[in-house]
Amino acid sequence: MTTHHFLSADAIDDVMVLELQDNISNMPDHTILNELEEIRRQRREIGATKLIFDLGKAQYFGSTLLELIRVVWNDLTALKGKLVLCNPSPFGREILEIAKFHLIWPLLETRAEALAMLGSGPNVASWPTELQESLTKYERGPEELRQALKGFSAIELRTPAPPGVWSVHQIVCHIADFELVYADRMKRVVAEDQPTMFGGDPDVFAEKLAYAQRHLEEELDVITAVRRQTSRFLKTLVAHDFERTGIHSVDGPLTLQVLLGRIAGHIPHHLKLIEGKRQTFTSRQSN
């Protein structure tokens, strides 16, 4: 965060946030305007095309500040960017509405609402409950998988139990491979219009993709990183984005909501299999 005489500047994801300080009403006009170029420089430096003016700490402000906002807005307009105002005091709202500036720049009650309007921050609260639950399950999966692997020896992790089925190690490699597949599907459903999504045979993956030579911790790191990155992207979406569809080569049209639900349930499905293997090894040891 960078502090100026009358505001603090911060970045939240791809949004630059300028928060006015309560001493702005005591600042001479030249002090405010002298800092304008520094604000513009910082915006260019981080490449921000979305900007929020948080008015929450400034009970009073005048025409000089409005001129500063207008100049910054002109910069953003040339870049097809967006500017939002939030947290106005009753006096600030009155000034903005009298001047009709609320018709030019959206004027919202909270910073969270401003972030959501700009496609950043916590949109999740506005999602249907089913979507929120799918995202929560998706985010919890990697840690639940790590917990499920505790107590297995190195030999047990690589031993098929019962014989002829996948080992725990192979299950983890399979999960890692299909994390990448589903992350790609979800991204392309949002980025493209009804993209084609190809199926994959898990047994062929296991046979051809060197599961025996792969390292368990690397696989867990892949699963964790992919879900963390994909979750961050998903949180920028609004509920109707999850109605977008891709065309699966076997299953036909699938919405983003269905894709998220499927991959969110993938780790819990395999946790049951892993627990079954644990019981098999425990039974062997007791005999």
Q: List the chain pLDDT tens, one digit each, 287 residues.
A: 454 556 778 887 778 898 876 555 555 666 666 777 888 888 888 888 999 999 887 777 777 778 888 888 999 998 989 999 999 888 888 988 988 888 899 999 988 888 878 866 556 778 899 999 999 999 999 999 999 999 999 999 999 988 789 999 999 999 999 999 999 999 999 999 999 999 999 999 999 999 999 999 999 999 999 999 999 889 888 899 999 999 999 999 999 999 999 999 999 999 999 999 999 888 777 66
Q: Are 6 and 24 in contact (CB under 8 A)?
A: yes
Q: What is the pLDDT of residue 164?
A: 82
Q: What is the pLDDT of residue 3?
A: 47
Q: Are 84 and 70 in contact (CB under 8 A)?
A: no
Q: Are 147 and 267 in contact (CB under 8 A)?
A: no
Rounded-to-integer distance, Cα 20 and Cα 236, Å: 26
Q: What is the pLDDT of residue 37?
A: 81
Beta-carbon-side half-sphere exposure of residue 226 (alpha carbons within 13 Å): 24
Sign of the CA dihedral with 168 first, then 169, 174, and 175 last: positive
Q: What is the pLDDT of residue 125?
A: 72
Which residues on neighbouring strands pair with residue 183, listed in sequence order?
Answer: none
Q: Residue 21: exposed, middle, or buried by beta-carbon count in 10 A (0-12, 13-18, 19+)? A: middle
Domains and CATH numbers, the chain: 2-117 (3.30.750.24), 123-286 (1.20.120.450)
Helix (H, G, I), strand (E, B) or coil at 117: helix
Predicted TM-score (pTM) of the model is: 0.63
- Residue appearing with tokens 């993938």: 266
- Residue 37 has which token pair? 């170029």
Q: Are 11 and 118 in contact (CB under 8 A)?
A: no
Q: What is the pLDDT of residue 287?
A: 61
Q: What is the pLDDT of residue 172?
A: 98
Rounded-to-integer distance, Cα 83 and Cα 69, Å: 9
Q: Are 50 and 120 in contact (CB under 8 A)?
A: yes
Could you tell me the maximum CA-CA distance found in the chain, to the nearest angstrom? Answer: 86
Q: Are 172 and 220 in contact (CB under 8 A)?
A: yes
